[in-house]
Amino acid sequence: MTTAPSTTHAASQPARRTYVEATDVASAVAAMSAGARPVAGGTDLVVGARHGKAPLPESLVGIHRIGELASLGRLPSGGLRIGALVTHATLAENGDVLASCTGLADASAIVGSHATRANGTLGGNVMNASPAMDTGAPLLCHGAVAVLVGPGGERRVPLTDLWTGPGRTSAGADELLVAVELEPVADRSGSAYVRLQYRRQMEIAVVGCGAVVRVDEAGIVTDARVAISALSPVIERVREAEAALVGSDGATAIEAAAAAVAAASRPISDVRASADYRRAMAQVMGRRAVLTALRRASGESIAVPASDTTFGS
Ligand SMILES: Cc1cc2nc3c(=O)[nH]c(=O)nc-3n(C[C@H](O)[C@H](O)[C@H](O)COP(=O)(O)OP(=O)(O)OC[C@H]3O[C@@H](n4cnc5c(N)ncnc54)[C@H](O)[C@@H]3O)c2cc1C
C-alpha cells in the first residue's frame, strides 16, 4: 500500500484528508476497517463531491491498482464472474458479455460519456446503489450475486439483498466488493436493456427496463426475467411481467408484460419527469426491452446499445 501526503481541502472545509492506494484486497480491507472509503473510477464519488452532492470522505483508499479486481471470465458453472474494477467500456465490448449477457452490454454502452465509461467501474455502479443505475436491471435479470470481502472473510450476497434503498447497501463499511457473479445463460436466450433518455450522452435513465428471456425450439417462452430502473427505490424484478411471458409465444404476451411493468412502478416526480410520465414510459420501455430480448433469443442480431440501434435515442 502506498500513502500519499495528506491534503488540506478548501478553506471552508479545513478537514485534513488522507488518501492511500491499495495494491491488494487485504490492504484495501485494512484501510476500510480503519475508516477509509474505497474509490475506484471516482466518477460517482469524486465527481459528486465536486458537484456538491456530498463532501469527499476524509479518508480514501484508491483501489484502482488491485489487478485481481479487473478480471472478467467464466465460472465453472458457465456463468460470468466480473471483477469489481471492470469498466463499462470493457463490458460494452467484451465478447463473452456481448454473447451471453447482451443486455448488460446495452447498459454499460450508454453510461455517461466515453470518459465516464473508461473510468467508471461495475463495482462503483453497484455499490453506489442509485435506483437509476443502468447495469442494475440486467444484473438482477442474470441472478447476480455480489462477492464481498471484509475483515471476517468473504460472503456472497444476492443483489436483491444488497440494495436496501437509494444510495444504500447492506454491505459493511469495511467490506470491499471484489466481483459480481452471474448465473449461466441457457441456449436460445436473449437479453436487452433500454432506457428513456433525453440526450444521447451524459444522461441518466429517466426510466429503464431490462429483460432476459429463453425460448424453446417452438418459440415458447420457458423463462423470463424483467427488472425496472428509475421506477422504484431500488432496482427490482417484476414477477407479474415474467409470469405473463412464461408459457406464451412471446409476441402475444408483450403487452401484458409491458402493462405489468407500468403497474409495478412506484416512480417519483422530480425535475426530470413527473411520476405519471415515468409510469407511462415504463410501459413503453417494458415493451421495448421484452421485444428486443425476444428477437435476440430467436437469433436476430441487434447491435448494442439497443436503446439507440433499435428505437433511436
Ligand atoms: C458525467 C457522468 C455521467 C454518468 N452517467 C451514468 C449513466 O448513464 N448511468 C449510470 O448508471 N451511471 C452513470 N454515472 C455514474 C457513474 O459513472 C457510475 O455509477 C460508475 O459505474 C461508478 O463507478 P466508479 O468506479 O467511478 O465509482 P466510484 O465513484 O469510485 O465509487 C462509487 C461508490 O461505490 C463505492 N465503491 C466503489 N468501488 C467499490 C468496491 N469495489 N467495493 C465497495 N465499494 C466500492 C465508493 O466508495 C463510492 O461510494 C455517471 C457519472 C458521471 C460523472
pTM: 0.94
Ligand 1: which of 44, 199, 203 to mutate, most ligand atoms within 8 Å of CB?
Answer: 44
3-state secondary structure of 153: strand
The grid cell for 149 is 470481502
Query: Which own/partner pairs from 238-246 qualify as long-range (CB within 8 Å, at least 24 positions apart)?
Result: 238/264, 238/286, 240/264, 241/286, 241/290, 245/213, 245/221, 245/290, 246/221, 246/222
Ligand 1: which of 43, 59, 139, 170 to mutate, most ligand atoms within 8 Å of CB?
Answer: 43
Alpha helices in 85-149 (DSSP H): 88-93, 95-100, 102-108, 114-119, 122-128, 136-141
Cell 435476440 locates to 296
Q: Over pLDDT 90: what percentage of the chain?
A: 86
Q: Which atom of ligand 1 is nearest to the CA of 177?
A: 42
C-beta of 59 in contact with ligand 1 (< 6 A): no
H or E segment to which residue 224 belongs: strand 221-229
Residue 108 · residue 94 · CB < 8 Å:
no
When the pLDDT of each residue in the chain is averaged and rounded to a whole number, the result is 93
C-beta of 45 in contact with ligand 1 (< 6 A): yes
pLDDT at 201 over 70: no
pLDDT in tens, 45-67: 998 899 988 899 999 999 999 99
Q: Is 67 exposed, middle or buried (0-12, 13-18, 19+ CB in 10 A)?
A: exposed
Region 242-264: mean pLDDT is 97
pLDDT at 2 over 80: no
Residue 6 · residue 20 · CB < 8 Å:
no
3-state secondary structure of 226: strand
Residue 14 has φ and ψ, to the nearest 5°, of -75, 5
Region 75-101: mean pLDDT is 98
- CB atoms under 10 Å from CB of 85, counted, come to 25
Nearest CA to ligand 1 atom 49: 128
* Closest-CA residue to 79 (of 193, 209, 180): 180
Confidence of residue 313 (pLDDT cuts 50, 70, 90): low
CA of 46 to the centre of ligand 1 (A): 9
Lowest model confidence (mean pLDDT) among 171-175, 196-200, 227-231:
196-200
Region 254-271: mean pLDDT is 96
Distance, CA of 203 to CA of 198 (rounded, Å): 7
pLDDT in tens, 91-117: 999 999 999 999 999 999 999 999 999
Distance of CA 219 to the CA centre of its chain: 29
Residue 126 · residue 98 · CB < 8 Å:
no
Ligand 1: which of 20, 85, 86, 127 to mutate, most ligand atoms within 8 Å of CB?
Answer: 127
pLDDT of residue 6: 42
CA of 252 to the centre of ligand 1 (A): 38
pLDDT of residue 199: 72
Q: Which atom of ligand 1 is nearest to the CA of 119?
A: 26
Distance, CA of 204 to CA of 236 (rounded, Å): 17
Lowest model confidence (mean pLDDT) among 11-20, 103-112, 134-143, 233-242:
11-20
Cell 463531491 locates to 49
Confidence of residue 79 (pLDDT cuts 50, 70, 90): very high
pLDDT of residue 205: 86
